[in-house]
Amino acid sequence: MAVEVRGLDIAVHEASGNRIPIVRDISFAIPRGEVLALIGESGSGKTTIALALMGYSRFGADIAADVIRVGDMRIDKMSRSELTRVRGRRVSYIAQSAASGFNPSRTILSQVIEPLLVHRLADRKTAEARAVELFASLALPSPETIGSRYPHQVSGGQLQRVMVAMALITEPELVILDEPTTALDVTTQVEVLKTIKLAMKQSGATAIYVSHDLAVVAQVADRIAVLKDGTMCEEGSVEQILNAPASEYTRSLMAAAQPEARPDAQAAPDNVLTVSSITAGYGRIRDGMPAKPVLRDVSFSIRRGAALGVIGESGSGKSTLARVIAGLLPAAQGDVMLGDEVLPRAMARRSREQLRRVQIVFQHADTALNPAQTVREILARPLAFYHGLKGPAADARVAELLDLIQLPTDVLARRSSELSGGQKQRVNLARALAAEPDVLICDEVTSALDTVVAAAILDLIDDLRRNLGIATIFISHDISNAHAFCDDLLVLYAGSVVELVSRARFSEGLHHPYTRLLVDSVPEMDTGWLARRSAADAPAIARDAISPALCPFLPRCSQAIVGACDTEWPPRRERDGQSILCHRDWGELRPSGHGVQGRTTVMS
């Protein structure tokens, strides 16, 4: 066996002297060249167990085991200096967020070759040649020159593949992949999964893949170990876990990964929010157009108590749209209306009442919540600002808010660092609800959460918007969750609304080619899904690669029409409950990658 773990225990020592176990009696073995997935909720011990194979534990914790073996190395018997020589050489680590794993002041190439130089495995010239080979094998663009760029100059998917190159450059015996695609949109995730699977096969490395997503690990793993509260519920082949799980907990994870559509909301007939012909971006505005445009002619409306899903890949303009509605980014053209009232474009010009009525729940609760304040202080501030509540009246309302978000009162004295990810996001939500808004913008609020916690947060938001009549804008790159949660779906691509569709019409299956690409990119709990996935779907390209007078999806479209798509902006086609921005008629729309028969020639 390439990896063997027996009787692994990890515990934290409190200041009082108590020893609190966080991982208990974990045992598994991995044959050479195979991938074991560690699955479970946040706090189940996945990353803690994986890092123990590098001899690493967080401050105040200790590792005890009968055996921790990687190849011919007894990790559990090594000294700190011996472990230093192993890490990054014979055992490598791929982090969840590549953006935070790179030094922004150094070029990509200098960081990728660093493990070879630090461990004295090659000279600089040889190391650079090896890096270029890896860049090419991982399908990175311009492999000979991409290394001269800085981390911020490549996309998230490209940077994640660069991190894979850095992990593989020393030809390690064990690679630990810690949620490597969680922060990526679905189309980028597909490309990264393909390259990871190919890279693992070519290198012959053994791997541990940490994730909370069963559908993702089904594409890359050979075996799955399911964890809960630091113990192993079950372990088996991917097929056995997916098709005949022995644990009730495993079945609950599978259920959470397949959200069921909620009933349509009984929304009021009046529109509480109307967005009309919004154009917005960054830089100086000239003739109504920003120097760096992001949104182009975006329009929609939402009724009181209804939920609108805004979906699209990273860079499509979803968060920019949220900022425009909230006034954080003034629009260059167009209006945002609350009822019959046109809101000032800039937040600084909006009244306190206008600010109160539109609230945002930000994606990352860690950065949205003040780490120096307690939960009581975080929730009391908007109560004082918007409603003038202080003292006992504020305390009573804080208690009501905690009840709304289903948190116990003992969290009031805690700071955000003392809360779990799900608890932080609930507090983040409660702070927005404290204003008693008419419109609630949820910006990727579940993207950093595991499936079980994310499902609970979605259920909570759904209940609240129905019971309180709040119009909800749900921004996400997860089309399956948006479809289950929302009454209508708005699909953004390169800042343009390419489709607006009711949930009822969505199920009929005729969509803009980009919407179909998103649907087809959602992983299924089927080990053959990635292999069947069409290789024709190209990765995203720069927005300025084509004329702004043409459809922005043209370079990736398998259904483009010669003489139309390559000459003029597409028309907006309307029918009951659905509109698309496309040259093709309804009857000509087909799933991407399938044969297209129409009145004109399909572009090559």
Q: In this structure, what is the dihedral angle of CA atoms 154, 156, 162, 167, given to the nearest 10 degrees?
A: 160
The reply to whether 281 and 251 lie within a common domain is no
Q: Specify if 261 maps to a domain.
A: no
**What percentage of the chain has pLDDT greater than the value 90?**
58
The reply to whether 134 and 283 lie within a common domain is no
Residue 73 dihedral angles phi and psi, to the nearest 5°: -100, 135
| pLDDT of 405 above 60 | yes
The reply to whether 252 and 277 lie within a common domain is no
pLDDT in tens, 229-285: 999 999 999 999 999 999 999 998 888 777 777 777 676 778 999 999 999 999 999
Q: Specify if 266 maps to a domain.
A: no
Question: Which one, of 228, 229, 262, 261, lies nearest residue 245 by Cα?
Answer: 228
The reply to whether 441 and 527 lie within a common domain is no
Q: Specify if 572 maps to a domain.
A: yes
- Choose the final residue of a domain: 478, 506, 534: 506
The reply to whether 373 and 231 lie within a common domain is no
Q: Specify the pLDDT at position 448.
A: 67
Distances (CA, A) of 597 to 552, 558, 574, 584, 594: 22, 12, 21, 11, 10
Q: Specify the pLDDT at position 270.
A: 85
Q: Specify the pLDDT at position 598.
A: 34
Highest mean pLDDT among 103-117, 364-378, 445-459, 475-489: 103-117
Higher pLDDT: 507 or 243? It is 243
Q: Residues 89, 120: contact at Cβ < 8 Å?
A: no
| pLDDT of 307 above 70 | yes
Q: Specify the pLDDT at position 267.
A: 67
Q: Cβ contacts of residue 89 below 8 Å, gap of 6+?
A: 115, 119, 121, 170, 172
Both tokens assigned to 168: 């593989």
- Choose the final residue of a domain: 222, 256, 290: 256
Higher pLDDT: 156 or 581? It is 581
The reply to whether 170 and 211 lie within a common domain is yes
Exposed/middle/buried for residue 288 (C-beta within 10 Å: 0-12, 13-18, 19+) = exposed
- Choose the final residue of a domain: 491, 506, 521: 506
pTM, two decimals, is 0.84
Question: Which one, of 163, 162, 213, lies nearest residue 42 by Cα?
Answer: 213
Q: Specify if 595 maps to a domain.
A: no
Number of domains in the chain: 3
The reply to whether 385 and 492 lie within a common domain is yes
Q: Specify if 262 maps to a domain.
A: no
Q: Specify the pLDDT at position 191.
A: 82
The reply to whether 334 and 437 lie within a common domain is yes
Q: Residues 527, 511: contact at Cβ < 8 Å?
A: no
Q: Which 3 state secondary structure label does DSSP give 484?
A: helix
Q: Specify the pLDDT at position 549.
A: 86
Domain CATH code at residue 194: 3.40.50.300
The reply to whether 166 and 232 lie within a common domain is yes
Higher pLDDT: 390 or 507? It is 390
The reply to whether 26 and 152 lie within a common domain is yes
Burial 239-260 (b: 16+ CB within 10 A, else e): eebbeebeeebbebbbebbebe
The reply to whether 469 and 326 lie within a common domain is yes
pLDDT in tens, 313-331: 888 899 999 999 999 999 9
Which ranges constitute the DSSP H helices of 491-599? Answer: 503-506, 513-520, 529-532
Q: Specify if 593 maps to a domain.
A: no
Average pLDDT of the residues in 364-393: 93
Note down the domain range covering 553: 513-588
| pLDDT of 543 above 70 | no
- For tokens 């916690």, what's the residue? 453
Q: Specify if 601 maps to a domain.
A: no
Both tokens assigned to 493: 């691509």
| pLDDT of 90 above 60 | yes
| pLDDT of 538 above 70 | no
The reply to whether 228 and 332 lie within a common domain is no
- For tokens 């780490």, what's the residue? 371
Q: Specify if 598 maps to a domain.
A: no
